[in-house]
């Protein structure tokens, strides 16, 4: 008798962040058979494992145990790109969903106070939730005002703390300016969190940074951050973030859930830092060194989606969000140029000259390492039960540059 089973899952297990405070058992011995012609609906609330099931089948991430069999062929260890020819996925609007106002059960609005007015991340998140997640209602508070501590936090479930100092040339900072980093990034963060806890806020989200692990490796040396990589800030900026994390972890408890985010370089519409500098180069240069480096990056739209999930799921712990793809600097510049109708040639013969500049050390060497160095998160660190990386690399660059072209 012919077996008409098309897809089968046998005793599949998947746990996110095993052995940590963020551990989530998404699939616990799941077995399933799908026969030809079957029409199946998977129903469940947030965190039930719907997205995890689809992502495991299509190879977005691997399973811990069990087997996935397609038409009699074991595809458990087959990478995502090789499974792509077997599966078609039609996504709902990645931000709104197919029915944005429909819930399995009605839920109360979540009031979020963003501490750090006019910050890039705070402004981006405020705009994103207003368009895509009406359940989250935001207000902002400018901590530069001397009377900010008079603000009543008790009406908020979450404080999203983005106030801080970054993007400085650390080689040109005075001792007085260094102390300002600690006053703002460390002490102000702690004061804000202590006030939030005292006044009954349930969750405190802190924007730390990948910088707590130090600088990127040279262009010839890979550097991958794992869960076992020790913190090793290379300058006072990174150290100020580490000290803030230490103070916040002491406040964490069931009634005050502390979230620490350590994202890599964030880019997107109106972003600051390295991305706009590379975008300028993409608009001016006819060629670029074909250095094959790898960096973790995070598109701001993916970050906003991730933060909204952390809020709605009332998470706690340390998280490492990043895009699915590692990014090569040369490919990024080429992609930006493409969005503006330009072509940039990638020249391999320039690579040795870039290497010589790096070997010189000093400011030239530092700039080369910053642009072409290697630094990535091991990909399993960034997995999450519900997919937050709704924009791939090419689409994210397109969106960022469309806004630039339109003057937004």
CB 208 within 8 A of CB 244: yes
Q: Which residue has the higher pLDDT, 208 or 367?
A: 208
Tell whether the model's pLDDT for residue 117 goes beyond 90: no
Per DSSP, the residues of 233-256 read -SSHHHHHHHHHHHHHHHH-BTTB
Cα separation of the two ends of the chain: 63
- Mean pLDDT, all residues of the chain: 88
Out of 20-34, 166-180, 208-222, 387-401, which region has the weakest mean confidence (pLDDT)? 166-180
Biggest alpha carbon–alpha carbon distance for the chain = 81
What backbone torsions phi and psi does residue 254 show, to the nearest 5 degrees?
-60, -35
Residue 405: name the closest of 267, 286, 270 by CA: 270
Tell whether the model's pLDDT for residue 169 goes beyond 70: no
* Crossing angle of the two packed helices 189-198 and 236-251, in degrees rounded to 10: 10
CB 344 within 8 A of CB 189: no
Instruction: Give the percent of the chain with pLDDT over 70.
Output: 91
Q: Which residue has the higher pLDDT, 135 or 107?
A: 135
- Residue 262 corresponds to which tokens in the numbers above? 């350590």
pLDDT of residue 196: 98
- What is d(CA 408, CA 84) in angstroms, rounded to the nearest whole number? 35
Q: Which domains does the chain have, with CATH numbers?
A: 5-83 (3.40.50.300), 110-332+336-344+355-405 (3.40.50.720)
Q: Kindly state the average pLDDT of the residues 40-53.
A: 81
Q: Kindly state the average pLDDT of the residues 185-203.
A: 97
User: Cβ of 72: how many Cβ atoms within 10 Å?
Assistant: 9
pLDDT tens digits, one per residue of 295-334: 999 999 999 999 999 999 999 999 999 999 999 999 999 9
Confidence of residue 21 (pLDDT cuts 50, 70, 90): low
pLDDT of residue 109: 93
Strand ranges in 142-202 using DSSP code E only, listed in sequence order = 158-161
pLDDT of residue 403: 66
Tell whether the model's pLDDT for residue 268 goes beyond 90: yes
| Residues contacting 131, CB < 8 A, separation 6+ | 95
Tell whether the model's pLDDT for residue 137 goes beyond 90: yes
CB 129 within 8 A of CB 300: no
Confidence of residue 221 (pLDDT cuts 50, 70, 90): very high
pLDDT of residue 46: 67
């Amino acid at each position: 008798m012919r077996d008409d089973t098309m897809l089968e899952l046998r005793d599949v297990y998947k746990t996110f962040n095993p052995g940590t405070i963020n551990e989530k058992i998404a699939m616990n011995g799941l077995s399933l058979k799908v026969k030809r012609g079957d029409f199946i609906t998977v129903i469940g609330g947030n965190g039930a494992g719907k997205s995890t099931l689809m992502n495991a089948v299509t190879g977005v991430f691997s399973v811990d145990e069990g087997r996935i069999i397609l038409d009699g062929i074991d595809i458990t260890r087959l990478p995502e790109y090789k499974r792509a020819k077997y599966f078609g996925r039609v996504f709902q609007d990645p931000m709104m969903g197919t029915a944005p106002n429909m819930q399995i059960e009605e839920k109360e609005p979540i009031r979020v106070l963003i501490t750090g007015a006019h910050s890039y991340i705070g402004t981006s998140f405020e705009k994103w939730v207003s368009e895509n997640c009406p359940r989250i209602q935001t207000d902002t508070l400018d901590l530069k005002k001397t009377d900010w501590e008079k603000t009543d936090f008790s009406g908020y479930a979450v404080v999203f703390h983005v106030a801080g100092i970054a993007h400085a040339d650390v080689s040109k900072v005075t001792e007085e300016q260094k102390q300002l980093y600690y006053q703002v990034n460390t002490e102000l963060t702690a004061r804000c969190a202590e006030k939030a806890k005292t006044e009954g806020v349930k969750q405190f989200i802190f924007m730390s940074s990948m910088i707590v692990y130090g600088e990127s490796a040279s262009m010839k040396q890979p550097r991958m951050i794992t869960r076992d990589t020790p913190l090793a800030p290379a300058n006072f900026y990174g150290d100020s973030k580490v000290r803030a994390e230490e103070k916040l972890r002491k406040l964490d408890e069931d009634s005050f859930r502390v979230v620490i985010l350590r994202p890599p370089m964030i880019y997107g519409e109106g972003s600051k830092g390295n991305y706009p500098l590379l975008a300028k180069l993409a608009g001016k240069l006819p060629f670029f060194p074909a250095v094959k480096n790898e960096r973790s990056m995070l598109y701001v739209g993916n970050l906003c989606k991730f933060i909204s999930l952390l809020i709605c799921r009332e998470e706690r712990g340390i998280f490492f969000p990043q895009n699915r793809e590692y990014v090569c600097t040369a490919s990024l510049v080429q992609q930006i140029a493409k969005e503006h109708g330009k072509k940039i040639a990638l020249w391999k013969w320039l690579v040795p000259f870039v290497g010589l500049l790096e070997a010189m050390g000093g400011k030239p060497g530092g700039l080369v390492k910053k642009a072409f160095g290697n630094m990535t998160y091991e990909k399993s660190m960034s997995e999450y039960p519900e997919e937050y990386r709704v924009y791939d690399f090419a689409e994210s660059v397109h969106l960022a540059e469309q806004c630039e072209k339109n003057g937004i």
